[in-house]
Each structure stands twice: as C-alpha cells, then as structure tokens.
C-alpha cells in the first residue's frame, strides 16, 4: 500500500534525526504522525523549536507521548491510520548511560518492546528503527561490516541497542513483520544535540570556554551529515522489504573516519578561533574508532553519502549562529 494512503509514524519527532526525517517526509507530501516525550535530557526549548517548524505543516500531527507508557501507546495506535513506523525515539548518549542506566532500560528496552507489539497489532507494513555504530564495541576489524560479531558492547547504551536488534529479529521471525535496523555513525548537522561533539565544541569555543579532548585527541569517528542519513532512511522507507529476509541491518555512515584532532582543526579554522584544549584520558565506554562499510546499503538502495566534513561543519555553524544569534 502506498505511503500516501497510510501515514508514517515517526517516534522521537522532536529529536535531532526525528525532526529531519519528519521534515523530509512532510516536504514529500506524506502524512506524518509524530510522538515524543520531550524529556529534559537536553534543552527542551530546542526540541520545542524543532517541533514548531514541523507544526507548520498541515500533514503533521503531534502527540506528547512516552513510548514506555504501554497503555497510552496502545490507545494512540488505535487513533491513527499508519502503515509504516520510523522509530527514532530513544535515550541517547554513551556517557550518560554510565550515570543513569535506568532511563535506558525504560526507553530503549520497554519502549522498544511496546512499539514492536503495537506495530504487530496494527499490522504495520515496515518497522524501521535506529541502531548505532556503538554495537560494534571492542571490535578492531575495520571497516565495520554488518555481519561482524556485535556481542561485546562497551556501554549500556550500546547494549540496549544490540538488544533492540535481537528483539526486532524475533518479531520478524515470529510474526512476519518486516523490520530494518540502521546503525547510525556519528550523525551531525543543523538542529543537532547539545551533548554531541560538534555542538558542544562550537558552543564552548564561541563562549571562550575550554573543551575536553579525550584520549589526547587520538580517536577516530565516521562523521555522517544528517541529510545523508535522511536520504538513506527515506530510500529504505520507499523500498518494499525483502520478502525472503524480513529482518535487515544496515550500516549508514560516510565511510571515512576522521581523527578527532583533525576534526577540531577544521572547526577552529571555520570559526577563526583557537580552542583552549584540555587533554584528558579515554572516557569509559568510548570506542577508539568507528568506520562504516556501506557497501550493503549502496547495493540495495544506491546509497552514496554526499556531504563531506568541511561542508557539513559549515552548514552546522551557519544554523548555530542564526539560531543562537551569534
């Protein structure tokens, strides 16, 4: 059935990636149902500002809802006409999972289970969900390939995402629900999260504050611009799931790791300000390197990331300075 005949549910619609995915769908003319609990993990006003942008569309309907609330979610599903679920709501952040693991259990495990069950009851045609590059954990085999073993996550956040992949597989196997997991690699861009490197470094440098550089800057990240993420997800959404392989997993990254010190150098260059760097030890739970092999996604949907780091940082800074009036 066409996406235009039945709507798309986007969970975490007021979040960073959820906002961009919702906006793309709305611009393409699809009916989008958005839910988000608007928690205070970071600045709620930023979430509300994203939501204000989405509320300008007539084909967007939003409800404040916590996916861990089983009864409320069941009632919500009965009120909407939805054929596809794009599940992006989750408690994010590797480092925060060291401090408050309980919220990861609620959102990422109970909430995920609730969504799977509601999707089964509603006979959803395709369930797409966010996983993470963090599931590769202690692996030192580069680049990361989807078939690699992911049984040794370094953080509880990564463990919950690994659990999501297993839970989704079981629902696909038991109930023939097509499920697709996307392992995101260090997503960045306009409207990003304040706890992520580009946002945090930019904010502190512009305010004249020092930045913490973990492992003396000897870390590598496969930075992926948000528009490339959205394009890949959108193509998957428009592609009929493989009837012989109902549970799929894809890496979705840029495919080119960048050393943290090089990343900071480019940011300093574009800001025209030298950062006051404080070099600190490796953070518990952090991975040394992330590196996506995207060949599988390229073969399936012709995915090819377009936005290199220099351009992506420039786009983010333009948004940041406009939004915060620097």
Which residues, including other chains, have CB under 8 Å from residue 218's CB and lie 6 or more apart?
259, 260, 261
Phi-psi sector, 189: left (phi>0), alpha (psi -120 to 50), beta: left
100: Cα separation from own chain's centroid: 20
| Measured distance between the N- and C-terminal CA atoms of the chain, rounded to whole angstroms | 47
Residue 204 contacts residue 210 (beta carbons within 8 Å): yes
Active site residue 220: no
Residue 242 contacts residue 249 (beta carbons within 8 Å): no
Query: Token digits for 205?
Result: 């440098």
Task: Please pick, among 96, 157, 171, 220, the residue that the annotation labels catalytic.
Answer: 157
Give strand ranges (E) for 178-284.
179-184, 187-188, 211-214, 220-221, 224-225, 247-252, 258-259, 277-280
Residue 8 contacts residue 33 (beta carbons within 8 Å): yes
Q: CB atoms < 10 A from the CB of 221, how many?
A: 22
Residue 265: which H helix or E strand, with range?
A: helix 260-271
CA angle 319, 321, 322 (to 5 degrees): 65
Q: CB atoms < 10 A from the CB of 265, how many?
A: 14
User: Which residues belong to the active site?
Assistant: 157
């Amino acid at each position: 059935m066409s996406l235009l005949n039945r709507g798309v549910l986007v969970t975490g619609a007021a979040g960073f990636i959820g906002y961009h995915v919702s906006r793309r769908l709305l611009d393409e003319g699809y009916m989008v149902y958005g839910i988000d609990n608007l928690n205070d993990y970071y600045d709620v006003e930023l979430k509300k500002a994203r939501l204000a942008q989405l509320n300008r569309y007539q084909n967007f309907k939003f409800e404040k809802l916590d996916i861990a609330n089983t009864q409320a979610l069941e009632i919500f599903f009965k009120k909407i006409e939805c054929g596809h679920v794009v599940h992006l709501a989750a408690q994010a952040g590797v480092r925060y999972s060291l401090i408050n693991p309980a919220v990861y259990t609620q959102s990422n495990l109970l909430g995920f289970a609730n969504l799977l069950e509601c999707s089964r009851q509603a006979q959803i045609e395709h369930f797409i969900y966010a996983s993470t590059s963090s599931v590769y954990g202690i692996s030192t085999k580069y680049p990361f390939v989807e078939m690699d073993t992911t049984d040794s996550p370094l953080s509880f956040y990564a463990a919950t995402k690994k659990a999501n992949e297993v839970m989704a597989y079981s629902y696909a196997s038991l109930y023939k629900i097509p499920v697709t997991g996307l392992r995101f690699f260090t997503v960045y861009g306009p409207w990003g999260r304040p706890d992520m490197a580009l946002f945090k470094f930019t904010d502190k440098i512009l305010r004249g504050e020092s930045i913490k550089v973990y492992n003396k800057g000897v870390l590598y990240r496969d930075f992926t611009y948000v528009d490339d993420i959205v394009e890949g997800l959108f193509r998957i959404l428009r592609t009929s799931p493989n009837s012989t392989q109902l549970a799929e997993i894809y890496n979705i990254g840029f495919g080119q790791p960048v050393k943290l010190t090089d990343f900071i150098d480019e940011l300093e260059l574009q800001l025209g300000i030298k950062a006051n760097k404080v070099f600190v030890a490796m953070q518990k739970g952090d991975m040394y390197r992330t590196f996506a092999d995207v060949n599988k996604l390229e073969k399936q949907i012709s995915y090819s990331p377009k936005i290199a780091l220099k351009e992506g940082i420039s786009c983010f800074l333009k948004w940041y300075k406009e939004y915060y009036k620097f």
